[in-house]
Amino acid sequence: SIFTILILTLLVLLTVATFLWNLLVLVTILRVKAFHRVPHNLVASTAVSDVLVAALVMPLSLVKELSAGRRWRLGRELCLVWVCFDVMCCTASIWNVTAIALDRYWSITRHLEYTLLTRRRISNIMIALTWALSAAISLAPLFGWGETYSPEQELCQVSQEPSYTIVSTGGAFYLPLCVVLFVYWKIYKAAKFRMGGRRSNAVVPLPNTAQVKEASHGPQMVFTARHAAITFQTDGETWREQKEKKAALMVGILIGVFVLCWIPFFITELISPLCSCNIPPLWKSIFLWLGYSNSFFNPLIYTAFNKNYNNAFKNLFVKQR
């Protein structure tokens, strides 16, 4: 039908766009030396996981969607490869988003202690743990923890063993979900505290005797002096506060899109094996591709809040005169 052709066309475009956009981010980070540091290494790790989702996972998922009854007719070996990369790359993408949120949180709340050297070391540890955990969750079924392929039913899916379902969904989604929600709550509290305590800082409130006032479109500073007592007041936002506000907004959007994209899939993935519920294959496909779309939105979000990426993208395609 025309509707089916339209849906498949959109899925193909989503796959191609996800691959190209994340590849563009990786090429930019590799070519621009200023990006060879944190937090861009976290962005690069996220882009790697999302590129692999687009290159290795989404095409085979599309082939499965095209087959009659969504059957798997590509054999056992390719099924195992597809399921392993599906679980590993999607889990890595989710934990990389969590690592970016943690990095922003520490840079906002502990900017004096969170030095460049400390930040680099912690980010490298988070990247290593992300990929190690993702590999462990994805490879577990290969060592006998459930079965992913059924030749009789021509079925290829993530292991439905209840114990594996609890561990895999908890490690791949519910644990990072708790982390990012806690992190954003702390960022919100820190931003609210700073905004509340920023407006006025007075040593001694005194009537005006001598006043110097500078008006501008940006932050405004007013000094009032009388003998040895000084009142200091600032209106507007400082550069650091503007930066923290922008970082908090970016983290909020990143987390919000991540939750909206993945929570329908992981709710059904957890409930289905435990209660033996028969969820229609169409809804499973919708929830799965909604989760895949998170790999498309990730680079759009964290590059939209960084002008350096936009300038670097232009330099890749436009010759400077």
What are the backbone dihedrals phi and psi of residue 132, each rounded to the nearest 5 degrees, phi first?
-65, -45
Assess if CATH 1.20.1070.10 describes domain 2-197+243-319. yes
**pTM: predicted TM-score of the whole model, two decimal places:** 0.82
**H and E: helices and strands count for the chain:** 11, 6
**Across the chain, what does the average pLDDT equal?**
81
- pLDDT tens for 115-144 read 888 889 999 999 999 999 999 999 998 888
Residue 208 confidence (pLDDT) above 70: no
The CB-based long-range contact list for 194-203 (8 Å cut-off, 24+ gap) reads 194/241, 194/244, 195/241, 198/234, 198/238, 198/241, 199/233, 199/234, 199/235, 200/233, 200/234, 201/232, 201/233, 201/234, 202/231, 202/232, 202/233, 203/229, 203/230, 203/231, 203/232
Q: How far apart are CA 174 and CA 172, in angstroms?
A: 7
The residue type at 289: W
- pLDDT tens for 36-93 read 777 789 999 999 999 999 999 999 999 988 887 778 888 889 999 999 999 999 999 9
Residue 234 confidence (pLDDT) above 50: no
Average of per-residue pLDDT across 261-287? 85
Q: What angle do CA 9, 12, 17 make, to 5 degrees?
A: 120
Which comes out higher in pLDDT, residue 284 or 216? 284
Which of the 8 DSSP states describes residue 234?
Answer: E
How high is the pLDDT of residue 97? 92
The residue type at 52: L
- pLDDT tens for 146-175 read 788 888 888 888 888 889 999 999 999 999
Q: Are 315 and 27 in contact (CB under 8 A)?
A: no
Least trusted range by pLDDT, from 35-44, 91-100, 170-179, 242-251: 242-251
Q: What angle do CA 237, 238, 243 make, to 5 degrees?
A: 95
- The domains of the chain are located at 2-197+243-319
Most confident of 94-98, 101-105, 301-305, 308-312: 94-98
Q: By C-alpha distance, which of 47, 70, 45 is closest to 60?
A: 70
